Amino acid sequence: ATTEPRIFKGLAGVPVDVTAISMVNSDTNSLLYRGYPVQQLATRCSVEQVALLLWDGELPTPERLAEFQLEERSNRALAPNVLRAVDDLPLTTHPMDVCRTAVSILGANDMDAGSNSTAHNLRKARHLFAQLPAIVAYDQRRRHGLALVEPRNDLDYTENFLYMTFGAVPEPEVVAAFRTSLVLYAEHSFNASTFAARVIASTLSDMHSAVTGAIGALKGPLHGGANEAVMYTFDEIGTPDRVAAWLDETLASKRKVMGFGHRVYKHGDSRVPTMRAAMVTMLEHFDRPDLLEMYMNLEEAMAARTGILPNVDYPTGPAYHVMGFDTETFTPIFVAARVIGWTAHVSEQLAANALIRPLSVYVGAAQRDLPA
């Protein structure tokens, strides 16, 4: 008898291509962006420097960085038809759907929409990077009945992102914690949304289609959507003393605890220590010992009961909450950062492309004919 081919459900553990962009190492619990440990980049580099590192493969020279900052700052404002498209969406539209829709309009507006050249794709990447914060910020404000805040070109990417959202630049400690989260979120090898982008790029479709597909994948609670789900979990638990009872009930009903576990990291997510430190700083800065207690209790209870450790979404949720972001805005922030990784992977896929088209094993009805 023919041996049944083995199925690799979820492609778990299956290497499907090489990449030079980042290395996720479960054994050493480390993450390198083009060879640099992310822990060093997240506390010492700007988002702009890390974006150029991931796209170009090298940290930028001062001249290259200055040139990019000029281009990024002059491309932040949203075109009228993008604002109209966002305004046409019901206020109840999930912000990830607002992002997906807005990126489609950006694609329609792009004068090189029909070109897949390396130069055009890198320029599209830089413009998506520049414009996503404005989309994320405007959508949060419109849900609160607040007017659009135009970008300020005297602010760097991170400060301007916060300024467009809240109408003011917060204290340097808050800017630093937000910057750290964006660098940590920027790239993570073949995660589901990045792989979705590569599948779309592999058919020689276009950059905006690839990013739109990636946004759809990131929205799911098993992936990027987990950071917003962490806050829903805290709300469901109520008070820190109810963590143990809640967890017993949750695990007994085989529900997943959002913000915990990882497909690749089995000894903890390499980004958590850095983001956890930033989160603790934020909870102290905004005087929220109650949230810190909730965070610690659930982390300890999960470790004690399951041995399952937090992933990067767990500390990010509370940090974004105290900064003032709406919970449903958390994953769009992830989009704004991960667009760097998605676009770098689209370019890499195209540079040595092979159409991504796996096999399936048929288990349906045996061949049969229609009734005469």
Structure tokens at 364: 């349906």
Task: Calculate ∠ Cα 148-318-128, nearest 5°.
Answer: 40
Near ligand SDX in 23-52, by CB under 6 A: none
Among 120, 123, 256, 285, binds ligand SDX (CB under 6 A): 256
Q: Are the CB atoms for 221 and 370 separated by under 8 Å?
A: no
Number of chain residues interacting with ligand SDX (CB under 6 A): 18
246: phi then psi, degrees, rounded to nearest 5: -60, -45
Stretch that binds ligand SDX, among 54-62, 161-169, 255-263, 277-285 (CB under 6 A): 255-263
Active site residue 262: yes
Beta-strand ranges (E) seen in the chain are: 22-25, 30-33, 36-37
Closest CA to 97 of 218, 230, 188: 218
How many other C-beta atoms lie within 10 A of the C-beta of residue 204? 11
State which residue, 259 or 332, has the beta carbon closest to ligand SDX: 259
How many other C-beta atoms lie within 10 A of the C-beta of residue 64? 14
Stretch that binds ligand SDX, among 116-124, 169-177, 259-267, 360-368 (CB under 6 A): 259-267
CB of 113 to ligand SDX, least distance (A): 27
Active site residue 369: no
Per-residue contact string for residues 295-314; x = within reach of ligand SDX by CB under 6 A = -------------x--xxx-
Q: How far is CA 346 from the centre of its chain?
A: 16
Q: Is 345 in the site for ligand SDX (CB under 6 A)?
A: no
Q: Is 100 in the site for ligand SDX (CB under 6 A)?
A: no
CB of 227 to ligand SDX, least distance (A): 8
Count how many Cα atoms sit within 13 Å of the Cα of residue 9 in the half-sphere of its side chain.
Answer: 0
Among 177, 226, 278, 346, binds ligand SDX (CB under 6 A): 226
CA distances (Å), origin 343, targets 143, 195, 242: 29, 11, 43
Which residues of the shown chain bind ligand SDX in the complex (CB under 6 A)?
Answer: 188, 191, 222-224, 226, 256-263, 308, 311-313
Any idea which residues carry the catalytic annotation? 262, 313
